């Protein structure tokens, strides 16, 4: 009853599909497939004002090799597994990981684990016997059919786009791997098999559609792809292009290293060159395609990581492209590697600032190439990767919260060309539910993202690549340890709001890297806590920042510290290893600060080695701050830098405490408790987001390895989640035993004070013509209950103690009305027994 369908739940829905469902190429069967697809996704598409179909025709080879002949056979993605046999490149010199003997990631041929070359990473297979022969004319007719049938079925404009992928996965590509191997200098993770966006072509006398006299030597890849794409789009009727797998965003867009960071050292002197080459691609590309909209996958990483490793000038690309560019989507890789912290941190880092007016959310239902359907197998129909990212919001310059208004589905078909009906039914139901109450204000934690500053720290006169690189890796790790980060604001937008609308940012805990001494953010941070706000800052503090060093009672340590340390903390850390591993490359340098004992500062965590004690966490709350609190965490990235290879290896969880987990304990001291009882060292903790909508809280989470207990408390008390049984412990926390694998729950009720109790919170039927909702609490034990009414219903709320059906007479309570920073709160109690709230 809380959801009224909105005619524009998403402004635009994009359905991605390969050509595999068109196993019969006749016009009749082609149109039947189109009609079936639109009908399957009708429940979502009917709310959009525009529906797009993004065709995974091939891998961009249909663009590169287009000769202008509509009756020429079309190379298309009719394979399962890596389409291109790349063993021919295995003997080429590789710039990374010389001990690696397997291109296992994509397209490699053979390995010690696949001696018969049967795996999908060793060879490709046709997706069915005798796949149809398709032509460019057929593709043009498909585009026409999609637009016609889609308009007839949905009644909204249909736009069709093509995709360009720089890698070797999806279709045979003689252009890339025979005639123009010189352009494949990117993707060192997979043996330099990706087209680099700064590549330059050798001369070629083949007559292409846009280059009938051949390719002149020295033609940039941006010029060539752009001109060919414009010709193909005009001939096929395409409306936009999707740049896949990081194309346009650097050379090594799948790897944690790159041109500026080789895995061993940072090279800031290369930043200007990288910036110039990437921007030149966009200049050349846009110069050819004109006003064509461009949509992007971006990288699997974050803005800060891309800046420090690849010199990616994202801010300048955004400015250059403007409304013609759609910012990168959330990465689908979390479905494959379980790194949801990287998905969320990466997405938020890309949307802290925007090139246009919207940003997209993408959900991974099927993989058309690699024999998996994530909704059915990887997710096992668990919708956490819907609810977690759709709780994300970005703060605009006016203080309002913006959520994605574009939904993209990858993809409507599976690797065999099937379109199983249960997938759109399942997925649509959860997407609808997630959009019932999209965030409309900042959550409890507000990530203050230094979008502009990170660019200055990369390309400025005093480059600090280690700090840029560290910051995003650290927040990624903290999210994976359970830190509920789902609202992001750029520093510039925060500073504007701190002056013009301070209430919009003062109620949240600021999560930010240590700001530069003397900066505007540094001053705003200190003013925020002095006025009663709370902040959690992370990273090194410079020696010239005497204000923070004095405030936190820190001093230079006798010597810098790198390696293994004994960990000590006054926080209640979980059972397990109390050793810390701190590296230099990923953690912004060594430990350098020591705690200086002082009564008004609590040094909550320290690391000791060879008789030297280093500060890891310091908390201060000055009496004059009106309840304000500041906690500093030195922070570290839990990775073993001695084992760096193609992937980022974690530190051994059975030996070392994850440094990022201290952030969760710091947050508890700041009033937001999300602690986990982990019985076995190395168990992945649950992920959490807490979003705000219509004066309520919405808890979403994922419990990947079945953690048996979660302890929850917010500043207003123990949250009583709708539809859940809440055990209130001696500390006044919700002690949630055996939480499920995933959850998405509304919370409007808190037990502010209570003797130990088990409280059941349930929704009841209205059974009244003038009542919209009823929520009942049972099992109260001298409990003080706080209720946050739905916005717009404040004057209609009635509260009945020990209710009896039909709830018309009885002990109606008059609540205490309290205006909080988070909205109107109604308080009753202490009460025992049961109580019902209705409106």
In sequence order, the 6+-apart residues with CB closer than 8 A to the CB of 416 are: 20, 80, 127, 128
- 612-620, strands of its sheet edge to edge: 401-402, 393-395, 487-490, 445-449, 509-513, 534-538, 629-633, 612-620, 601-609, 563-569, 579-582
Give yes or no for residue 758 having a pLDDT over 70. Answer: yes
Percent of the chain with pLDDT over 90: 88
Confidence of residue 671 (pLDDT cuts 50, 70, 90): very high
- Calculate Rg over the CA atoms of the chain: 28
Predicted model pTM: 0.95
Confidence of residue 118 (pLDDT cuts 50, 70, 90): confident
How far, in Å, are 388, 572, 730 from residue 739 at the CA level?
Answer: 16, 21, 20
In tens, the pLDDT along 473-490 reads: 999 999 999 999 999 999
The reported pLDDT for the residue numbered 184 is 93
In the block, which residue shows the tokens 């971006």?
Answer: 298
**Is the distance from CB of 604 to CB of 570 less than 8 angstroms?**
yes
Say whether domain 445-671 belongs to CATH 3.40.50.880: yes
Confidence of residue 646 (pLDDT cuts 50, 70, 90): low
Q: What is the mean pLDDT of residues 525-554?
A: 97
Tokens of residue 777, six digits: 């609490």
More confident residue, 20 or 169: 20
The CATH class for the domain spanning 12-81+131-176+221-434 reads alpha beta
- Dihedral angle, C-alpha 518, 523, 524, 528, nearest 10 °: 150
The reported pLDDT for the residue numbered 190 is 65
The reported pLDDT for the residue numbered 9 is 86
| DSSP-derived secondary structure for 196-251 | PTT-BPPPB----SS-TT-BPTT-BHHHHHHHHHHHHHHHHT--EEEE-TTTTS-S
Closest CA relative to residue 664, chosen from 630, 698, 687 = 687
Q: Regarding beta strands 774-787 and 757-764, do their DSSP bridges make them parallel or antiparallel, or are they unpaired? A: antiparallel
Percent of the chain with pLDDT over 70: 95
Per-domain residue ranges for the chain? 12-81+131-176+221-434, 445-671, 688-838
The reported pLDDT for the residue numbered 407 is 98
Tokens of residue 205, six digits: 């006398």
């Amino acid at each position: 009853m809380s959801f009224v369908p909105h005619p524009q739940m998403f402004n635009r829905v994009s359905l991605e599909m390969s050509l595999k469902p068109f196993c019969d190429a006749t016009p009749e069967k082609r149109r039947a497939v189109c009609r079936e697809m639109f009908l399957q996704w009708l429940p979502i598409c009917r709310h959009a004002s525009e529906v797009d179909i993004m065709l995974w025709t091939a891998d961009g080879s249909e663009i590169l090799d287009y000769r202008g002949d509509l009756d020429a056979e079309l190379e298309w993605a009719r394979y399962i597994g890596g389409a291109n046999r790349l063993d021919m490149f295995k003997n080429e010199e590789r710039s990374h990981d010389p001990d690696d003997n397997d291109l296992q990631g994509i397209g490699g041929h053979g390995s010690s684990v696949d001696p018969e070359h049967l795996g999908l990473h060793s060879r490709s297979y046709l997706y069915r016997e005798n796949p149809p022969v398709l032509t460019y004319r057929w593709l043009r007719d498909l585009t026409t059919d999609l637009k016609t049938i889609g308009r007839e079925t949905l009644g909204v404009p249909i736009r069709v786009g093509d995709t360009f992928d720089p890698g070797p996965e999806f279709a045979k590509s003689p252009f890339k791997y025979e005639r123009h191997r010189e352009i494949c200098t990117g993707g060192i993770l997979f043996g330099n098999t990706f087209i680099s966006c700064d590549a330059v072509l050798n001369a070629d006398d083949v007559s292409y559609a846009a280059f009938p006299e051949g390719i002149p030597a020295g033609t940039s890849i941006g010029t060539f792809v752009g001109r060919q794409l414009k010709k193909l789009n005009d001939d096929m009727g395409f409306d936009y292009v999707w740049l896949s797998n990081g194309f346009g965003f650097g050379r090594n867009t799948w790897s944690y290293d790159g041109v500026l960071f080789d895995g061993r050292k940072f090279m800031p002197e290369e930043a200007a060159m990288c910036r110039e080459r990437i921007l030149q691609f966009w200049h050349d590309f846009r110069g050819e395609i004109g006003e064509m909209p461009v949509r992007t996958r971006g990288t699997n990483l974050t803005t800060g990581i891309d800046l420090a490793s690849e010199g990616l000038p994202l801010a300048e690309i955004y400015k250059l492209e403007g409304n013609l560019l759609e910012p990168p989507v959330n990465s689908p890789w979390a479905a494959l590697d379980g790194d949801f912290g990287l998905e969320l941190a990466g997405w938020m880092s890309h949307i802290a600032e925007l090139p246009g007016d919207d940003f997209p959310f993408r959900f991974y239902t099927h993989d058309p190439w690699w024999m998996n359907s994530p909704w059915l197998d990887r997710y096992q129909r668990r919708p956490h990767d819907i609810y977690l990212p759709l709780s994300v919001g970005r703060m605009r310059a006016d203080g309002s919260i913006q959520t994605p208004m574009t939904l993209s589905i990858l993809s409507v078909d599976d690797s065999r060309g099937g379109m199983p009906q249960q997938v759109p039914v399942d997925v649509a139901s959860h997407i609808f539910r997630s959009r019932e109450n999209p965030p409309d204000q900042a959550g409890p934690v507000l990530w203050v993202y230094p979008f502009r500053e990170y660019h200055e720290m990369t390309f400025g006169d005093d480059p600090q690549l280690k700090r840029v690189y560290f910051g995003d890796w650290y927040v990624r790790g903290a999210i994976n340890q359970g830190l509920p980060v789902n609202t992001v604001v750029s520093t510039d937008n925060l500073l504007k709001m701190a002056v013009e609308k301070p209430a919009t940012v003062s109620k949240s805990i600021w999560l930010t890297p240590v700001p530069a001494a003397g900066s505007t953010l540094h001053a705003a941070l200190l003013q925020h806590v002095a006025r009663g706000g709370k902040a959690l800052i992370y990273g090194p503090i410079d020696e010239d920042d005497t204000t923070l060093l004095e405030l936190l009672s820190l001093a230079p340590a006798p010597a810098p510290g790198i390696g293994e340390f004994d960990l000590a903390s006054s926080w209640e850390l979980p059972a397990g290893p109390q050793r810390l591993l701190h590296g230099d490359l990923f953690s912004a340098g060594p430990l350098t600060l020591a705690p200086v004992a002082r009564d008004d500062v609590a040094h909550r965590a320290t690391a000791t080695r060879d008789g030297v004690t280093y500060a890891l966490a310091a908390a201060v709350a000055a009496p004059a701050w009106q309840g304000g609190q500041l906690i500093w965490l030195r922070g570290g990235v839990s990775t073993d830098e001695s084992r760096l290879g193609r992937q980022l290896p974690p530190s051994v969880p059975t030996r070392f405490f994850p440094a990022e987990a201290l952030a969760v304990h710091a947050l508890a001291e700041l009033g937001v408790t999300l602690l986990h009882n982990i019985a076995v060292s190395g168990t992945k903790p649950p992920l959490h987001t807490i979003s705000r909508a219509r004066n309520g809280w919405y808890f979403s989470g994922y419990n990947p390895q079945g953690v048996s207990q979660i302890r929850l408390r917010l500043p207003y008390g123990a949250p009583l989640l709708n539809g859940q049984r809440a055990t209130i412990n001696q500390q006044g926390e919700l002690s949630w035993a055996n939480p499920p694998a995933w959850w998405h729950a509304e919370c409007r009720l808190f037990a502010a004070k209570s003797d130990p109790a088990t409280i059941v919170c349930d929704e009841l039927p209205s059974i009244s013509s003038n009542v919209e909702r009823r929520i009942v609490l049972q099992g109260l034990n001298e409990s003080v209950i706080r209720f946050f009414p739905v916005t717009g219903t404040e004057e209609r709320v009635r509260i009945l103690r020990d209710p009896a059906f039909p709830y018309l007479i009885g002990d109606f309570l008059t609540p205490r009305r309290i205006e909080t920073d988070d909205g109107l709160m109604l308080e009753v109690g202490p009460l025992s027994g049961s109580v019902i709230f209705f409106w």
